Amino acid sequence: MKTRELMRKAGVRPDGTADQHFLVDERVLDRIVGYAPDAEDAHVLELGGGVGNLTQRLVEKYDRVTVVELDRELARFLDGRFSNAEVVQGDATEVPLPEFDLSVSNLPYSASSPLLFRLLPHGKPLVVTVQKEFADRAVAQPGTDDYGRLSVTAGRYAEAEILETVPPSAFEPQPEVESAVVRFEPRDEVRGDGFFDDVVRAAFTQRRKTLRNALRNTTHMTGIDEDRVYDVPEELLSKRPGKMTPDEFERAADALRR
């Protein structure tokens, strides 16, 4: 069934909304599912099911799929369409997420950052389609213009790789920007750590300062006493956040924890 027909059945306007861009290119959809691990009995989490173009391929490859969809009409449309898919209607940045083995999603542009920050600490393989600019930041290296909080967080939890660029013509309605498919392979034994995330977030609010001054100016964000800043090795305190590797941030956070 063509996407416009699916949109009509789901009660979605043909021009979508500002953040609804449904991936319709069948070759791209097939490749995205092909990038994900081959594990038939895996429980797959999809955030933002849309009209089910990607969901259809996921239920064919995996035994169990959970889809979280914000739009009530789309969630109602998806519910019951696939025998081995459970549909959760709600905001994927807030609703409780089930235990899952991997996640394959076409993430909404406006929520890509909070969704990825939420997924990465689970330590599971991820294959996501995001705005190309966002993808570039996720894989950026220290010292580059794109390097920031997203780069550090992604690098701490996973090895990130851009697999392909997706043109606007692959979507309906077409966005004004290019997208990209990114795969995140989790690092061993790294799980969610709110304190590490707080340190990185605080440091990048002051990215032009040294880590010493950045941490001293953001104690209200990290909850540490200012004198604790000097527990961090001097070689790290003298660096600027934009040139620190994820491992160096880890060392700084460990020192502050102690």
* Domains of the chain, CATH where assigned: 3-186 (3.40.50.150), 194-257 (1.10.8.100)
Which phi and psi (to 5°) does residue 84 adopt?
Answer: -110, 25
Q: What is the model's pLDDT at position 23? A: 96
Integer Cα distance of 59 and 43 in angstroms: 10
Strand order in the sheet with 126-131: 85-89, 64-69, 43-47, 102-106, 126-131, 179-186, 158-166
CA-wise closest residue to 130 among 93, 183, 169: 183
Burial class (CB in 10 A: 0-12, 13-18, 19+), 31: middle
Q: Which helix (H) or strand (E) holds 25?
A: none
Residues 3, 24 contacting (CB under 8 angstroms): yes
At 6 the pLDDT is 64
Q: Is 142 helix (H, G, I), strand (E, B) or coil?
A: coil
3-state DSSP of 103-136: EEEECCHHHHHHHHHHHHHHCCCEEEEEEHHHHH
List the chain pLDDT tens, one digit each, 258 residues: 566 666 666 666 555 555 688 999 999 999 999 999 998 899 999 999 999 999 999 999 999 999 999 999 999 999 989 999 999 999 999 999 999 999 999 999 999 999 999 999 999 999 999 999 999 999 999 999 999 999 999 999 999 999 999 999 999 999 999 999 999 999 987 766 789 999 999 999 999 999 999 999 999 999 999 999 999 999 999 999 999 999 999 999 999 987
Tokens of 132: 């190309």
pLDDT digits (tens, 9 = 90+) for 160-194: 999 999 999 999 999 999 999 999 999 987 766 78
pLDDT of residue 20: 80
Contact (CB, 8 A) for 244 and 200: no
Beta bridge partners of 67: 46, 87
Residue from 184, 129, 178 nearest 153 by CA: 184
Written as one letter, the residue type at 57 is R
Beta bridge partners of 130: 180
Write the secondary structure of 191-257 as one string of H (helix), E (strand) and C (coil). Answer: CCCHHHHHHHHHHHCCCCCCHHHHHHHCHHHHCCCHHHHHHCCHHHHCCCHHHCCHHHHHHHHHHHH
CA torsion angle 209 151 90 61 (round to 10): 180
Query: Residue 98 belongs to what H/E stretch?
Result: none
User: What is the rounded CA–CA span in Å between residue 206 and residue 2?
Assistant: 48
pTM of the model: 0.90
For position 4, what pLDDT does the model report?
62
